[in-house]
Amino acid sequence: MFRATYTSETLPLLLRYVAGLGQTGLLHCQSPEMVVTVLSLTGQQVISCTTLPPQLEGLAAVQALLRQPEGTCHFEESWAAQEAPLPLRAASLLMLDIEDLLIKVQTVSPALDLTHIGPHSVPDLLVAAPPAVLEGGPEFASAEFYGRLWALIDGQRTVQALAHTLGHSLEEVRLILAQLEQQGALRLGTGPLVSAEGMGQFVQGLTAVVGPVAKLLMRDALKAIGVAQEAVPVGLLPELKTEVLRGCPVSRHPQIEALFLSLAKWPPAQPPSRPPAVQPFSSQELTHQLTHLLGPIARELVHESLQQVQGSASPQTLDTAQIPNFLDALQALLPPARRGEAVLLLQSFRR
């Protein structure tokens, strides 16, 4: 076992050193904001990564760790004498050599936040048309892939369910969804939630089984799965049950199992609707964003499209009825270069 301090600059070197030990064990990295556990097996291979709290898994957990400015760590060559390892869940598995893992993390744009997209997140579409291939996306993400993904997003399927149906890893689908979210094509929510009534009845029943300690038990269990009691996703009930049972005597497990069965039968509550903030349409803002994609020609394309819609040499502010015609005219003028991204941008400006 060893202990060390690290910074964001020295952490990659530290991870390489631990993997190079060729030992089986747990590396606990603690920062002022979170605790991250990396399980390293078979020498250079990192098997899984999980943060507590909040619970992030897999590549998202590694990214969160590498974003921390500093921290302390200790490595246990064997967990048997100290503590049982965290359950190896599919979402936390990496199965990558340390060099491959660090390259995979570094290839993701720093502006692309994956940490809030977990296996139980639920995407919901904001635009009608599926996107073309995004520049900088993974090689597997063809136009056919986007079409299949688009057809599956219904506001009910979780990220984990999408990955399973598409036959891709959770990390691959998470990366694509983060790109689409950044482009304004979709938003990610929690999906159906356990109703407040159901949760209240459950806590009352748990108190009758284990006594006043039930509230502390629930607090710790909810913290372990990274949610608040007011917003427990239905999809996380199995994980919640595991955490609650972990803190209870085995003799009470049958009663607690029955309570969870009852809780699962309560009609779920839908998460509160959070529509995206709608800003007034601005051709200037559209021109600015389009210029980043197409270069100086964007200004000419916008100007010509405004003239087509308004029929004047000096385009004025568009009224609401003219916006769709303007966007259609602009889309027809788009050059082939980066057309897919430009079309997706125009979709985000349709109200």
**Token pair recorded at residue 255:** 């009663």
CB 18 within 8 A of CB 27: yes
- Least-confidence region, from 65-74, 179-188, 192-201: 179-188
pLDDT digits (tens, 9 = 90+) for 208-248: 999 999 999 998 888 777 677 777 888 889 989 999 999 89
90 band by pLDDT with thresholds 50, 70 and 90: low
Shared-domain flag, residues 175 and 202: no
| Between 228 and 309, the higher pLDDT residue | 309
| 113 found inside a domain | no
Residues 30 and 81 in one domain: yes
Q: List Cβ neighbours of 159 (8 Å cut-off, separation of 6 or more).
A: 117, 118, 119, 120, 121, 122, 123, 170, 173, 174, 177, 188
Buried residues in 286-296 as b, exposed as e (16+ CB within 10 A): bbebbeebbee
> Within this chain, do residues 80 and 172 fall inside the same structural domain, yes or no?
no
Confidence band, pLDDT 50/70/90 cuts, at residue 202: very high
pLDDT reported for residue 200:
92
Q: 129-138, 203-212, 223-232 — which one is most confidently predicted on average? A: 203-212
| Pairing relationship of beta strands 2-7 and 25-30 according to DSSP bridges | unpaired
Residues 14, 102: one domain?
A: yes
Residue 276: pLDDT band with limits 50, 70, 90: very low
State the pLDDT at residue 218. Answer: 92
pLDDT higher than threshold 50 for residue 12 = yes
Q: Are residues 127 and 182 in the same domain?
A: yes
CA separation, residue 332 to residues 302, 304, 326 (Å): 11, 11, 10
Question: What is the number of domains present in the chain?
Answer: 4
Asked, for residue 177, whether it belongs to a domain, the answer is yes
Question: Does some domain include residue 338?
Answer: yes
Specify whether 181 is located in the same domain as 203.
no
pLDDT at 35 over 90: no
Same domain, 185 and 223: no
Question: Do 178 and 225 share a domain, yes or no?
Answer: no
Domain end residue (candidates: 189, 211, 244): 189
Lowest mean pLDDT among 114-118, 168-172, 257-261, 333-337: 114-118
185 and 217 inside one domain: no
pLDDT at residue 337 above 60? yes
The reply to whether 170 falls in a domain is yes
Q: Does 287 reside within a domain?
A: yes
- 240 token code pair: 């919640």
Average pLDDT over every residue of 157-177: 87
Judge whether 115 lies within some domain.
no
- The boundaries of the domain holding residue 324 are 283-349
CA 59 to chain CA centroid, nearest Å = 10
Q: What is the 3-state secondary structure (H, E, C) of the chain?
A: CEEEEEECCCHHHHHHHHHHCCCCEEEEEECCCCEEEEEEECCCEEEEEEEECCCEECHHHHHHHHCCCEEEEEEECCCCCCCCCCCCCHHHEEEEEHHHHHHHHHCCCCCCCCCCCCCCCEEEECCCCCCCCCCCCCCCCCHHHHHHHHHHCCCCCCHHHHHHHHCCCHHHHHHHHHHHHHCCCEEEECCCECCHHHHHHHHHHHHHHHCCHHHHHHHHHHHHHCCCCCCCEHHHHHHHHHHHHHCCCHHHHHHHHHHHHHHHCCCCECCCCCCCCCCCCCHHHHHHHHHHHHCCHHHHHHHHHHHHHHCCCCCCCCCHHHHHHHHHHHHHHCCCCCHHHHHHHHHHHCC
Kindly state whether residue 278 falls inside one of the protein's structural domains.
no
Q: Same structural domain for residues 95 and 9?
A: yes
pLDDT in tens, 39-51: 676 778 888 888 8
Last residue of a domain, which of 47, 80, 106?
106
Contact residues for 60 (Cβ-Cβ < 8 A; gap 6+)? 114, 115, 117, 118, 174
Q: Could you tell me if 227 and 250 lie in one domain?
A: yes
Is 10 among the domain residues? yes
Q: Which whole number is the average pLDDT over 334-349?
A: 73
> What pLDDT sits at residue 89?
63
Same domain, yes or no, for 89 and 7? yes
Q: Last residue of a domain, which of 45, 78, 106?
A: 106
